[in-house]
Amino acid sequence: MADFDGHIGSASPAELGEAQDHVRTLNARFRHFGTSYFLEAVLTRGIFERVAMVSSFGADSAVLLHLIAQIDRSLPVLFIDTRLLFAETLEYQTELVAHLGLTDVQVIRAPEATLAARDPYGALHLRDPDACCDLRKTRVLDAALEPYDAWITGRKRHQSRTRSGLDYFDLDPGTARIKINPLIDWTPSRIAAHLAAHELPRHPLVARGYPSIGCKPCTSRAGAEEDPRAGRWRGLEKTECGLHRAETTQAKGATA
């Protein structure tokens, strides 16, 4: 079970073993599928009982949202509003939802009472950014994902060293919930081409030098020669918000 104050309970060894076997089987089965065919199979063939997509409505989010909208505009899409996002992100979220005709976008947030008790001045990110992400994002998503047995992410292999070995499927650490990663082999040039070909709205901050966009206090511009994620938690060793607590596939056995 999951609630806001306690992360999803750990799966039993038997449940984990079964889930890992399922991941291996799925990766072997779908390893040669193209993205659109892969998504259609995952969403229409009854492989999972309940699937949601989690989207930040960030720099590249329009691509995966567009691909899913071609198959099922009613798929639940979870959007975490940390209450520290750029105003441009909130505006973009509204614009993109309308453009794609998505019908079940759920904005999820930490309870106001919890934020008032644990981060009353909105300054937790200054002294402990990991705790801030845990409070405003990780626990929020853990609770929201409880009804689902799988969720779709926009992770890509090119984004970081820790993501270079991603398969189409992996597990949330300690749980039997499967993460689905349709864009693992998409490169920046392919993403840009898709955005242009389908005339998809772009996040307004991209043109202002923000190739990777998170919460406003922890995101800065990245130079043309820098890694696209260089502006996230600049100056810190932190590279992830915690939604993906283990970037390596837990049940390899096949490469997507």
CATH number at 28 reads: 3.40.50.620
The predicted structure's pLDDT at residue 244: 61
The predicted structure's pLDDT at residue 175: 84
In a domain, 135, yes or no: yes
In a domain, 8, yes or no: no
How would residue 245 be classed by pLDDT, with cut points 50, 70 and 90?
Answer: low
In a domain, 113, yes or no: yes
**Exposed/middle/buried for 234, CB within 10 Å: 0-12, 13-18, 19+?**
middle
In a domain, 114, yes or no: yes
In a domain, 111, yes or no: yes
Q: What is the mean pLDDT of residues 38-67?
A: 95
Work out the percent of the chain whose per-residue pLDDT is above 70.
86
Q: b vs e for 22-37, b when ≥16 Cβ sit within 10 Å of the residue's Cβ? A: bbbebbeebeebebee
In Å, how far are 28, 125, 226, 232, 241 from 143, measured between CA atoms?
30, 21, 35, 25, 16
| 51: enclosing H helix or E strand | strand 51-54
162 within 8 A of 246, measured Cβ to Cβ:
no
User: Residue 42 pLDDT > 60, yes or no?
Assistant: yes
Q: Which residue has the higher pLDDT, 19 or 89?
A: 89
Q: What is the mean pLDDT of the chain?
A: 88
The predicted structure's pLDDT at residue 5: 58
pLDDT digits (tens, 9 = 90+) for 213-232: 999 999 999 988 888 888 88
Catalytic residue among 132, 133, 215, 241: 241
CB count within 10 Å of CB 164 equals 13
pLDDT digits (tens, 9 = 90+) for 149-187: 999 999 887 666 666 678 899 988 878 899 999 998 899
Q: How many domains does the chain have?
A: 1
End-to-end CA distance of the chain: 31
In a domain, 227, yes or no: no
Please tell me the least confidently modeled range out of 1-15, 73-87, 131-145, 152-166: 1-15
In a domain, 214, yes or no: no
150 within 8 A of 179, measured Cβ to Cβ:
yes
Question: Quick check: helix, strand or coil at residue 174?
Answer: coil
| Residue 215 is among the residues annotated as catalytic for this protein | no
What domain range includes position 29? 13-209
Which amino acid is residue 86, in one-letter code?
A: F
The dihedrals phi and psi of 85, each to the nearest 5 degrees, come to -75, 160
Question: Quick check: helix, strand or coil at residue 89?
Answer: helix
235 within 8 A of 217, measured Cβ to Cβ:
no
How would residue 242 be classed by pLDDT, with cut points 50, 70 and 90?
Answer: low
The dihedrals phi and psi of 122, each to the nearest 5 degrees, come to 65, 30
Whether the model pTM is above 0.75: yes
In a domain, 97, yes or no: yes
